[in-house]
Structure 1
Amino acid sequence: MSKNANTSKAVAAALDAAFKDAQEREAAAGEMSLDIRSAKFIIFSDHHKGNRDGADDFRNCERAYNAALAYYYHLGYTLVVLGDAEELWEERPKTVLKAYSHTLAMEGKFHQDGRYLRFWGNHDDNWSHPRLVEQLLAPALGGGPLTVRETLILHVKDGEESLGKLFLTHGHQGTFTSDSIKPLSKFFVRYFWRPIQRITKFSLNTPSTDFQLRYAHDNALYSWSEAQEKVVLIAGHTHRPVFKSETHEATIRKSLKKTEDLLTKDPGNPELQQQVACLAAELEWILAQNRQSAEIPPIIELKKPSYFNTGCCAFLDGDITGLEISNGKIHLVRWPNNEDDPKP
């Protein structure tokens, strides 16, 4: 069996278990619904907030993230933090919470207004323990009861009509380093990798820097979602934005190829020339941002738009990406915008 097939099998089994657990919790606590006509959600993940030293992957993104929080708070959005918000493989919780007290206070405004959904991932699974949440995280967010989930099913409705389900989870389920050998992985990151990173300031958040691993995991997440009935999977973990079940890079490549073909037929068209130039620039931006090679990657075959990925809030250039649900649609957003202004 190939490596990709093994990955898909492990991820599928883990997601099946996670989805079943979400259904059981839902049966006990009741359904949560999202009305597509009025819902306003912004979903971010994978901040990896640290100690403001050379090993801190979030430090460069703090400005963009805080600006986004202010924007979405004043517009009445619900904030969803989809795991790996704090880098607790490298740092102690109190250290991180103190280093980013202002950012957490901004998140806390959503929490105090009842517009906050919090998830734990593999790098902040300390928050899977309610006692630690009550003692440390909840006070940093202004206090009050706080539930930190592994999974959540949102029932999407248009008025009284049921449209399907959103399944939200961090997305690490089934990975070898995050599930099978997690204690060893934590030990390596904290005691071996972090001192090196502090000196070199080189960022490493697998699978975000391993393109083949990242692709295999995205493919496994999509394969699971494609097999479900009226279920859309929203995840993070890979640090790679995926929109309509294909990566942002793949989307831009397709648009660029289509526009180049049109320009070949009408080479003097200034509007097409401008579009090609803009798409080519955006592609190079993405390639440099993700530190990927220019080689065309394999593209997940798009059968249905059943998998979306937030990307991350830990890009080296200070950008962040997320998923915005508003006006009955889901959008991939990047902060700052192309003009480097604090806007999506």
Structure 2
Amino acid sequence: MSSQSRLDRAYKNAKIISFDDSSKFILFSDCHRGDNSFADDFANNRNIYFHALTHYYNEGFTYCELGDGDELWENLHFEIILRAHKNVYGLLQKLHAEDRLAMIWGNHDMVYRDPKHVKKQLSFYFDPKLGKDVPLFPGIEYHEAIILKHKDTQQEIFLLHGHQVDFMNYVGWRINRFLVRFLWRSLQVIGISDPTSPAKNYTEMIKVERRMKKWIANHRNQFTIIGHTHRPRFPEAGELALFNDGSCVHPRSITGIEIENGNITLIKWQIATTEDGTLKIIRVPLEGPQKLTDFITD
């Protein structure tokens, strides 16, 4: 099956979520939450991420995670990740309980495409204080893709991780997982990057974007938002509508995409220094806001 056929299938089987101009969504991807070791890229930004997600929770946003949320290539078991970032999962748990959590699987958490695995691993966790299993994400579902469909304009926003156009990270993901788990994870600690990742291989990144653009062009400029490459992307109105929310493992910052009041905005959360020397986490708009309707194709 070609990459274009895989995208067609993802679009056809996508979960549809209705929204309107009063809806609020925050899109993050590529968190790569790990075990809090030197190989855990998320650990450097976990306080920024937690602060940002707390803001969105308090402001009534729905959280959409576009894949690679959990780093399940480097880590064998989810329980290790849960213990390392318990406060983050506590907040995600509250979002799930309020039906404000939408999850997509990527290549690094591709095991979540199996509903049985998701139910077994994520429904409950063992609480050592209580000495028993307690609910975590009961009834949670992971999807390959999600379509946000506007109730009034019928505009569709296609959300997916984007590794569907990356053969070795979709079809050959088990091979890459083996290499990362038993080779590149150890080398990462001493600063050697994983060449299988499009986020660290410019040539692969360009290939992913080119294949995504081809599919979008063949589908009447279908509004599409992906992750996977870690490179934020925000096109101008009239250009091919390929957006990318970036990642949560940038050096000292995270990027994401907000959809609010019928607009889309690329944002960054980072640590800034005030005049008196105090460190503060701030939100910085990078691109937008741009009207969603500017990307409607007749």
Same fold (TM over 0.5): yes
Question: How many matched pairs?
Answer: 267
Determine the C-alpha separation between the residues in 1 that align with 2:137 and 2:72: 21
Q: Cα distance, 1:201 vs. partner? A: 4.6
In the alignment, is the contact (CA less than 8 A) between 2:272 and 2:282 conserved in 1? no
Match of 1:197 in 2: 188
Determine the C-alpha separation between the residues in 2 that align with 1:104 and 1:115: 14
Q: Counterpart of 1:153 in structure 2: which amino acid?
A: I
Higher RCO, 1 vs 2 (CA within 8 Å, ≥6 residues apart):
1
Determine the C-alpha separation between the residues in 2 that align with 1:178 and 1:244: 25
In the alignment, is the contact (CA less than 8 A) between 2:184 and 2:193 conserved in 1? no
1:145 paired to 2:145: no
Q: Counterpart of 2:280 in structure 1: which amino acid?
A: D
Q: Cα distance, 1:147 vs. partner? A: 0.9
The structure with the largest helix share of the pair is 1
Q: Counterpart of 1:88 in structure 2: which amino acid?
A: L
In the alignment, is the contact (CA less than 8 A) between 1:34 and 1:156 conserved in 2? yes
Determine the C-alpha separation between the residues in 1 that align with 2:124 and 2:51: 22
Q: Counterpart of 2:112 in structure 1: which amino acid?
A: W
1:13 paired to 2:5: yes
Determine the C-alpha separation between the residues in 1 that align with 2:137 and 2:257: 27
Identical counterparts, % of pairs: 34
1:73-106 Cα shifts (integer Å, max 9, x gaps)? 0000000111101111110222112211211111
Distance 1:244 1:139, change over 3 A: farther
Pairwise mapping of residues 185-334 of structure 1 onto structure 2 (< 5 A)?
A: 185-198=176-189, 200-204=190-194, 206-229=197-220, 231-244=222-235, 303-315=238-250, 317-334=251-268
Match of 2:111 in 1: 126
Match of 2:42 in 1: 58
Q: Cα distance, 1:305 vs. partner? A: 4.6
Q: Counterpart of 1:15 in structure 2: which amino acid?
A: L
Determine the C-alpha separation between the residues in 1 that align with 2:210 and 2:2: 12
125, 131, 136: which one pairs with 2:121? 136
1:171 paired to 2:110: no
Distance 1:13 1:244, change over 3 A: same
Unaligned runs of 5+ in 2: 126-134, 274-278, 284-298
Determine the C-alpha separation between the residues in 2 that align with 1:46 and 1:16: 23
Q: Counterpart of 2:150 in structure 1: which amino acid?
A: V
84, 95, 98: which one pairs with 1:110? 95
Other structure's SS at 1:206 match: coil
1:183 paired to 2:174: yes
Q: Cα distance, 1:176 vs. partner? A: 2.4
In the alignment, is the contact (CA less than 8 A) between 1:57 and 1:203 conserved in 2? no
Determine the C-alpha separation between the residues in 1 that align with 2:193 and 2:38: 9
Distance 1:163 1:230, change over 3 A: farther
Q: Counterpart of 1:312 in structure 2: which amino acid?
A: S
Q: Cα distance, 1:56 vs. partner? A: 0.8
Determine the C-alpha separation between the residues in 1 that align with 2:280 and 2:210: 33
1:240-274 Cα shifts (integer Å, max 9, x gaps)? 001126xxxxxxxxxxxxxxxxxxxxxxxxxxxxx
In the alignment, is the contact (CA less than 8 A) between 2:187 and 2:193 conserved in 1? no
Determine the C-alpha separation between the residues in 1 that align with 2:3 and 2:29: 19
* Structural RMSD (CA): 2.1
In the alignment, is the contact (CA less than 8 A) between 1:165 and 1:230 conserved in 2? no
Other structure's SS at 1:190 match: helix
1:79 paired to 2:63: yes
Distance 1:55 1:202, change over 3 A: farther
Q: Which has the larger radius of gyration?
A: 1
The structure with the largest strand share of the pair is 2
Determine the C-alpha separation between the residues in 1 that align with 2:28 and 2:65: 5
Other structure's SS at 1:231 match: coil
Q: Cα distance, 1:144 vs. partner? A: 2.5
Q: Cα distance, 1:203 vs. partner? A: 4.9
Match of 1:343 in 2: 282
Distance 1:223 1:13, change over 3 A: same
